[in-house]
Copies of this chain bind each other. A is one copy, B any other.
Amino acid sequence: MHTITVNASGKYDVIIGNGLLSKAGELVKNAVSTERFAVITDDNVSPLYFDVVSNSLKEQGFEVFHFVFPHGESSKSHETLIKIYGFLAENHLTRTDCIIALGGGVTGDMAGYAAATYLRGMDYVQIPTSLLAQVDSSVGGKTAIDIPEGKNLVGAFKQPRLVICDIDALSTLPRDFLIDGMGEVVKYGMIKSAELFEILMNHTIDDINEVMEDVICRCVTIKRDVVEADEFDVGERMLLNFGHTLGHSIEQYYNYVGISHGRAVAVGMEMITALAAKRGLCDPSLSQRLSDCLERYSLKITIEPKPNELGNACFNDKKRAGSSIRVIICSDVGCSSPVKMSIDEFTEFISQE
């Protein structure tokens, strides 16, 4: 079991290890002071893990409430959020009670946002059950929902009180979801860690599980460092968006159907690195190395739209500031920086032949 402590506006632990779901009650007892918990899950995760978490909470004498919503990105909406608020109000949850987000990225983002805004903020704990959520979305306090105009356009910064990453939960993960999470793992290697990238190049999607605890710890440590340096995403934290500006536009192009977040980010990273190579911002061999790595994790994907067809959606991206946009470019493995471009420059950049 590993504990990584995050020192942001709130200080909290990320606990990584095996068999943690059944210890959830004990673990949260040390992190929050309430005895009333609202567990929010989707209909995929609920039958798998709700009982073990709920029993563990009840063993500590806690009261447990349960909200289930239909799985999938399309649930990360105001419609579901309003139902969550209703559920919290009906059960008289108060500011000092606690939400538990049990599930993947959608659950964590939305339940976290409900916690950030209900009664102007209550406590929450993340129990991520997907690889993507464990390495990325559950740590750092970014919460959000989607609106018709774009993904994650409405949200809040709100640090959880505790994050519990049970590696065992990944064993029930369909291969597709493992691949999805690997998109973000490759990203961490590219932006910050040649060592992690090396580990990835020594494995494939079929045997990466053997070193998963190490991989997750490395990703969470990178994320922790970045979040501590820039909690509110005005500098260093932007690096985490490598591949995301185009990635979000790709998801939007497909209406969030048929292409997962990790895969969209993989395509986004590949596109942006190929474009950067053409511009001389990195060596063409980097583009090749990234492609090789993505190939190992079934993340080499062909999509319909060309980069220049994705421009419009980028302009609503949160990375935009005034009339400019910050594009994250890797100059080498483990080495990234934000490049400020005007809308025109960015349009030209993504229109390169």
Contact = CB atoms under 8 A, between A and B. Distances in A.
A233 B120 contact: yes
Interface in A1-57: 34-36
A320 B322 CA distance: 41
Interface in A110-158: 116-121, 142, 144, 147-150, 153-157
Interface stretch (A85-93, A186-194, A302-310, A334-342): A85-93
Contact of A148 (B36, B86, B121, B318): B86
A10 to B, nearest CB: 12
A153 B119 contact: yes
A175 interface: no
A156 B94 contact: no
Given A36-B322, A119-B318, A154 B85 contact: yes
Contacts of A90: 149
A230 interface: no
Given A147-B82, A321-B96, A156 B89 contact: no
Given A94-B321, A322-B94, A117 B120 contact: no
A289 interface: no
Count of identical protomers in the assembly: 2
B156 A144 contact: no
A321 B121 CA distance: 12
A347 interface: no
Given A89-B147, A89-B153, A121-B156, 20 more contacts: A35-B322, A36-B322, A78-B82, A82-B147, A86-B148, A90-B149, A92-B316, A92-B320, A94-B318, A94-B322, A95-B318, A95-B320, A95-B321, A97-B322, A116-B156, A117-B154, A120-B142, A120-B144, A120-B157, A120-B318
24 contacts: A85-B153, A86-B147, A86-B148, A89-B147, A89-B149, A89-B150, A89-B153, A90-B149, A92-B315, A94-B320, A95-B318, A95-B320, A95-B321, A116-B156, A117-B117, A117-B156, A118-B153, A119-B154, A119-B155, A120-B144, A120-B155, A120-B156, A120-B157, A120-B318
